[in-house]
Amino acid sequence: MRGARILVIDDSKTIRRSAETLLNKAGCEVCVAGDGFEALGKIVSFKPDLVFVDIMMPRLDGYHTCALIKSNPTLRHTPVVMLSSKDGLFDRAKGRLVGAQLYLSKPFTGDELLEAVRLNLPQAGST
């Protein structure tokens, strides 16, 4: 997991801070954004290996953010994990439709967050 570049997009400062702390302790390089618009400004220069994105955000929600990431030829293969307090089948299906690899329900544990990294970055599981 050491050296993996992770972008965390969430309008909750608490979620951003806790995810950043956990991922930094695991050896990841972390960039955070408060919404999809802010993330789009950072993602091209940061070039993340994995993106965590909240679904319910102001201005640009997680579904649209994920769709924009997946429509960019240089970012198309970047795994996206949706974060949400909504745990319905519809929400999970919509996440898959826009290209998300995994759906993580909030509140999530540190172990669940790190497992999502391991599942989506196979090389991360070997460190």
Above 60 in pLDDT, residue 111?
Answer: yes
* Structural domain contains residue 125: no
Is residue 123 a part of any domain in this protein?
A: no
CA 15, CA 21: separation in Å to the nearest integer?
10
* pLDDT tens profile 22-37: 999 999 999 999 999 9
User: Does any domain span residue 69?
Assistant: yes
pLDDT above 70 coverage of the chain, percent: 95
Range of the domain at 70: 5-56+63-87+100-118
Q: What is the mean pLDDT of residues 105-120?
A: 93
The answer to whether residue 124 is domain-embedded is no
Half-sphere exposure of 9 (CA within 13 A, CB side): 32
Asked if residue 71 belongs to a domain, the reply is yes
Of the pLDDT bands very low, low, confident and very high (cuts 50, 70, 90), residue 127 is: very low
CATH of the domain at 37: 3.40.50.2300
Q: How far is CA 101 from CA 17, 20, 53, 83, in A?
A: 23, 20, 11, 11
- The rounded Cα 25 to chain-centroid distance in angstroms is 17
Judge whether 12 lies within some domain: yes
If DSSP codes are grouped into helix, strand and coil, which group holds residue 46?
helix
